[in-house]
A and B are shown apart, each in its own frame.
Chain A
Amino acid sequence: MVKTTIQEQDGNMVAILVGSLDTAAAAETEKAMSPLNDVEGKNIIIDCTDLEYISSAGLRIFLGVLQSTQVKGGHVYIKGINDNVRAVFTITGFSNIFEFM
């Protein structure tokens, strides 16, 4: 179960994820994050400070946001990632295509 909050902060769109982004939570989270695909002219920050776990389905959501943002010339930053989630990004080879802050 993931609680997703999207808000604008300092000219960026920020998605705050709280909980465990497992396969069961993916569909709902993807829907909650879909407004990010329509963002124009702003960078996106995915705040993972309180994200406990990420599954492949979660990675796919992040990759979708990255693709839709990059084609518009924007950046996606991942903030506050914990060690377990970082390990998933690294094991799967995605750690150097996102920008971490």
Chain B
Amino acid sequence: MGKQEKKEDQQEQSEACIGSAEHKQVESKVKLDAHGEMLLRQYRELRPTLQQLSDEASHLLRQALSEQGIYVTAIEHRVKTEKSLIGKLELKGAKYKDIGDITDLVGLRIITFYTDEVDKVAVIAKRLFDIDWKDSVDKRKLHELDAFGYNSLHYICRLKTGGPRFELQMRTALQHVWSTIEHDTGYKGDVKIPRVYMRQFSRLAGMMELIDDEFSRLRTVLTDYRRQTLALVKNGKLDDVPLSRDTFRSYLELHPFDHLNRRIAAVNQAELFPVSMMSYLPVFESFGLETVGDVQHFIDENSEDAYQLALSQLAITDLDILSSNTALQYLCLVYVLKHDGGRDGLKSLYDIINGENSTNGMLADLMMEQAKTLPFFGKLKTKN
């Protein structure tokens, strides 16, 4: 990369907050030659078209990424400012015959979480736009063994419907961080950086690449793990599946509490109001349930007594709306009582379910009174 191009790169970086750049007439001290002035006039005429292009290309990308379920950290777009263009024309205006030869008048940048997502975004871009391969560059492949830097994938694109070309940069969040810091240090300026500092840059760049790759690898490993455990849940091998947010969520897709919920709801012909059951995961952890199989055994062993307890409470009311975690709640209450939790155990359970508050003690007392009338509680007392 020549020195002039490096300078321009710095200027482009200073436009990093791409956003919707407003058109400002710049009182430039730079005196452009006649050709430069001609290009500038062309740019001013083209500005509304460029703004429209910037918005449309950004919209198309955003929509396509959303349809493909790809979440990115940022999608930025901007039209090159007049000030930046003047700087470019001053440096190398003669290189361009026409304003259309300048490919970055509109710039878009997509910042992804992972390296492999850069490639996915590139595939989407190829589908959405016509790519000018002659001017597109994968800077990731340009590094010499002893070179440093950490760059991104750049495509020069055109809408399928025609119009001016624009530049699309695709990079990971870490690549973006690198690029931003690199710019901030100003190492690409006029002062020659001593070799010792260049080497420090090189080492850091290598580390960033390594971290990026490791994050991608870790995500792949975790995705595989999640897939395997979910398959175990689906196949009913529940004892082999550690209990976690993901596996519990997957287990809930089997509707394990529906049967008991329907039995309880039938007491008062009640409507079941759907609510999240995920808040009970900490309760299971406090019970020491370690696998999804443990949760299944917990349901199997306590359902009948949970039903009896719910029945004793609801039958004397006319409450005909219940939350979909009613079954879960009564299962947990019974579990605590069967494990000698007593009144204090019930209060602790309510503290987890409801959050600590002054009425949890009252609720525990109420539940103890109800439980005392039930057969399972009598058996417990006899056993003890």
Q: Which residues of A contact B (CB under 8 A)?
A: 55-56, 59-60, 63, 81, 83, 86-88, 90-97, 100
Contacts and interface: CB of A to CB of B under 8 A. Distances in A.
A94 B323 contact: yes
Contacts of A90: 350, 354, 363
Contacts of B270: 56
B357 A100 contact: yes
Contact of A93 (B329, B357, B359, B366): B329
A91 B313 contact: yes
Nearest to B350: A90
A93 B318 contact: no
Contact of B321 (A60, A81, A87): A60
Given A55-B318, A56-B320, A87 B357 contact: no
A55 B324 CA distance: 18
B244 interface: no
A91 B273 contact: no
Q: Main SS of the interface on chain B?
A: mixed
A86 B353 CA distance: 13
24 contacts: A55-B319, A56-B270, A56-B319, A59-B319, A59-B321, A60-B321, A63-B321, A81-B359, A86-B363, A87-B366, A88-B319, A91-B317, A91-B319, A92-B319, A92-B321, A92-B323, A93-B322, A93-B325, A95-B350, A95-B354, A96-B353, A96-B354, A97-B275, A100-B355
Contacts of B91: none
Interface of B: 270, 273, 275-276, 279, 313-314, 317-326, 328-329, 350, 353-355, 357, 359, 362-363, 366
B363 A87 contact: yes
Contacts of B317: 88, 91
A63 B275 CA distance: 11
Contacts of B275: 93-94, 97
B185 to A, nearest CB: 40
Contacts of A95: 350, 353-354
Contacts of B276: 97
Contacts, number: 60
A89 to B, nearest CB: 9
B364 to A, nearest CB: 10
A63 B321 CA distance: 11
Contacts of B353: 95-96
A88 B314 CA distance: 10
A97 B313 CA distance: 20
A60 B321 CA distance: 8
B320 A96 contact: no
Contacts of B324: 93
A73 to B, nearest CB: 17
A95 B324 CA distance: 12
Contacts of B326: 92-93
Contact of A96 (B279, B313, B363, B366): B279
A81 B360 CA distance: 13
Contact of B318 (A56, A81, A86, A94): A56
A101 to B, nearest CB: 9
A92 B267 CA distance: 12
Contacts of A96: 279, 325, 353-355
Contacts of A86: 359, 362-363
Contacts of A81: 359
A99 B355 CA distance: 9
A90 B359 CA distance: 10
